[in-house]
Amino acid sequence: METLKLGFIGAGFVANFHAAALKQVRAAELVGVYALKWAEELAKFAKANGLGDCKVYPNVAELCKRCDAVAVFAPNFVRIELVEQIVEAMKAGAELRGIICEKPLARTVAEGRRLVALAREAKVATAYFENQIHMKAIRGALAQLGPVQKSMGPISLARSAEEHAGPHEPWFWDPTRQGGGVLCDMGCHSIAASWFVLTPIGKPVTFLEPVSINAETALLKWGQPKYRQELLDRTGVDYAQTPAEDFCTGIITFRNPETGQLVKAQFSNSWMYDKQGLRLLMEALGPGYAFEVNSLRSPLEVFISDSAAEAVADAETALEKATASRGLLAVQPNEADLYGYVDELKDARSAFVGGKDAFLNWEYGLEITKLVQAGYLSAERRKTLDLTDPAVQQELDSYTSLIAQGKGAEILM
Ligand SMILES: NC(=O)c1ccc[n+]([C@@H]2O[C@H](COP(=O)([O-])OP(=O)(O)OC[C@H]3O[C@@H](n4cnc5c(N)ncnc54)[C@H](O)[C@@H]3O)[C@@H](O)[C@H]2O)c1
């Protein structure tokens, strides 16, 4: 098995999750990291865990010279400049076989198009990291239901939700840097997961054609004076000035181009889910069958009493975005695998070694960006958008949501 030498750009939350996942991936080494913060810590983790002789590099160009593939695990607002630097490094001789980009691909459709063009000009394979499509629970459900789907008919309603109590770093909360609120940050997951679940088994990921979208954005918790102040104190982001949505929901209708059948994806996302921690929920209904995934249900429960709670080292070892360190805790002992990180890394490794795009490439990421942005536009207009209308698609090409422009007060307050 040929080994792929990986380099990470960014050493924050998601880079650390991927490093944990890499412990479970064969024939991939973490050989370098470049980041403004936390690079040394990540390199230390990589060495301590046998992931590779990971070195810290001072810039993108130096990192690219030493790797077969690089992963962009830096914030949304530096995507374009980082990918431009990667492409420059390739022009200067770096022999990259692939570039990985975390979700969301981009903050606007125009940015997404620029990223796709950069990669295609450089003739480099791409991977768009949407971990939920790689979740073993979803893949397992679809494998189990394959024969049922063939005899009964495809899934016609998929519900998908990703919710937690709010992001860890200030930039996520700032809509002008992040690209919006929870719809941009996590709606991209739920839209992708439900589109995938609805797709008849064996068909390409964009087989079902988006027909229409109706979405709502709202500020349910973090716009209230008490919590707005708490957010300002903690992150420096002022939702009295530049609010972003902490809740979104919507429904997308897709059409099967072979049969004409219409199917629906319902998505819901929030940053005000004050339960134990992150919850992913997927539900799919077909004629005579169904499945449900709830990531808060674990075979492992841990109980910590009030008197014992002060001895707890780190609540987040139980669950991503954990909010409690006592009581009955839901604990997921292998979150990197549960959420699909292990399998998306395996997929990218084997695709790049074989000279191909990953299962999900940047063109696919751009389709998700279009749907997310269409969600913002629908919420602003308070109406259902016809996604088959060329005028709507044209409008999306140059669209930046009011929320991402820092004018969220016009629709959220
Ligand atoms: N798949 C998922 O569920 C998931 C979860 C979290 C984050 N993400 C995505 O991953 C990306 C990173 O998020 P995060 O939570 O790790 O953020 P973070 O803020 O925790 O870490 C960002 C890292 O990037 C570095 N960085 C910032 N600007 C840089 C620059 N110009 N050059 C080099 N390094 C730079 C920072 O120093 C830091 O090391 C985001 O796009 C986010 O949407 C995905």
Give the Cα separation of 194 and 157 in Å (integer): 9
141 and 189, same domain (yes or no): yes
Tell whether ligand 1 has an atom less than 6 A from the beta carbon of residue 130: no
- pLDDT, residue 311, reads 65
Ligand 1 atom index nearest CA of 39: 39
Report the domain count for the chain: 2
Concatenating the DSSP letter of every residue in 82-123 gives HHHHHHHHHHTT---SEEEEESSS-SSHHHHHHHHHHHHHTT
Looking up residue 242, the CATH number of its domain turns out to be 3.30.360.10
Report how far apart, in Å, the C-alpha atoms of 401 and of each of 174, 222, 244, 381 are: 13, 19, 11, 11
Closest CA to 81 of 42, 32, 36, 38: 36
Q: Give the CA dihedral 199, 203, 204, 207, nearest 10 degrees.
A: -60
Ligand 1 atom index nearest CA of 76: 41
63 and 145, same domain (yes or no): no
The residue type at 322: A
Q: Whose CA is nearest to atom 25 of ligand 1?
A: 10
Is residue 190 in a domain? yes
β-pairing, 98-102 with 69-72?
parallel
Ligand 1 atom index nearest CA of 72: 11
- pLDDT, residue 328, reads 87
277 and 384, same domain (yes or no): yes
Rounded to the nearest angstrom, the distance between the alpha carbon of 260 and the centre of ligand 1 is: 40
Candidates 60, 70, 102: which one to mutate for ligand 1, based on the most atoms within 8 Å of Cβ?
102
Is residue 114 in a domain? yes
- pLDDT, residue 319, reads 84
Tell whether ligand 1 has an atom less than 6 A from the beta carbon of residue 19: no
Give the Cα separation of 245 and 239 in Å (integer): 10
Residue with tokens 């209904």: 285
Is residue 381 in a domain? yes
Tell whether ligand 1 has an atom less than 6 A from the beta carbon of residue 46: no
107 and 191, same domain (yes or no): no
166 and 228, same domain (yes or no): yes
Tell whether ligand 1 has an atom less than 6 A from the beta carbon of residue 36: yes
Rounded to the nearest angstrom, the distance between the alpha carbon of 193 and the centre of ligand 1 is: 21
Is residue 305 in a domain? no
Tell whether ligand 1 has an atom less than 6 A from the beta carbon of residue 74: yes
184 and 252, same domain (yes or no): yes
β-pairing, 69-72 with 55-56?
unpaired
- Each residue's pLDDT tens digit in the chain (413 positions)? 899 999 999 999 999 999 999 999 999 999 999 999 999 999 999 999 999 999 999 999 999 999 999 999 999 999 999 999 999 999 999 999 999 999 999 999 999 999 999 999 999 999 999 999 999 999 999 999 999 999 999 999 999 999 999 999 999 999 999 999 999 999 999 999 999 999 999 999 999 999 999 999 999 999 999 999 999 999 999 999 999 999 999 999 999 999 999 999 999 999 999 998 999 999 999 999 999 999 999 999 888 888 888 766 677 777 888 888 888 888 899 999 999 999 999 999 999 999 999 999 999 999 999 999 999 999 999 999 999 999 999 999 999 999 999 999 999 98
- Within 10 A of 392 (CB to CB), how many other CB atoms are there? 17
> Encoding tokens for residue 92?
């200067």
Residue 94 and residue 80 in contact, taking contact as beta carbons nearer than 8 Å: no
385 and 248, same domain (yes or no): yes
The parent domain of residue 97 ranges over 4-131+342-360
403 and 283, same domain (yes or no): yes
- pLDDT, residue 330, reads 86
Is residue 250 in a domain? yes
Ligand 1 atom index nearest CA of 104: 43
Is residue 28 in a domain? yes
Q: Which residues is 268 bridged to in the sheet?
A: 161, 249
Q: Whose CA is nearest to atom 8 of ligand 1?
A: 14
Give the Cα separation of 89 and 105 in Å (integer): 21
Rounded to the nearest angstrom, the distance between the alpha carbon of 388 and the centre of ligand 1 is: 34
Q: What is the pLDDT of residues 47-64, one digit of tens each?
A: 999 999 999 999 999 999
Q: Chain-centre distance of CA 322, in angstroms?
A: 18
Rounded to the nearest angstrom, the distance between the alpha carbon of 10 and the centre of ligand 1 is: 6
Candidates 36, 168, 172: which one to mutate for ligand 1, based on the most atoms within 8 Å of Cβ?
36
Rounded to the nearest angstrom, the distance between the alpha carbon of 316 and the centre of ligand 1 is: 18
- pLDDT, residue 329, reads 86
Looking up residue 92, the CATH number of its domain turns out to be 3.40.50.720
Rounded to the nearest angstrom, the distance between the alpha carbon of 78 and the centre of ligand 1 is: 9
Rounded to the nearest angstrom, the distance between the alpha carbon of 259 and the centre of ligand 1 is: 41
Give the Cα separation of 79 and 84 in Å (integer): 9
172 and 292, same domain (yes or no): yes
Tell whether ligand 1 has an atom less than 6 A from the beta carbon of residue 367: no
- pLDDT, residue 313, reads 67
Rounded to the nearest angstrom, the distance between the alpha carbon of 14 and the centre of ligand 1 is: 6
Tell whether ligand 1 has an atom less than 6 A from the beta carbon of residue 15: yes
Tell whether ligand 1 has an atom less than 6 A from the beta carbon of residue 78: yes
Rounded to the nearest angstrom, the distance between the alpha carbon of 185 and the centre of ligand 1 is: 12
Is residue 188 in a domain? yes
Is residue 337 in a domain? no
Rounded to the nearest angstrom, the distance between the alpha carbon of 370 and the centre of ligand 1 is: 22
Rounded to the nearest angstrom, the distance between the alpha carbon of 76 and the centre of ligand 1 is: 7
390 and 347, same domain (yes or no): no
Residue 346: partners with Cβ closer than 8 Å, 6 or more residues away: 25, 26
127 and 206, same domain (yes or no): no
Closest CA to 10 of 31, 37, 28: 37
- pLDDT, residue 1, reads 85
143 and 249, same domain (yes or no): yes
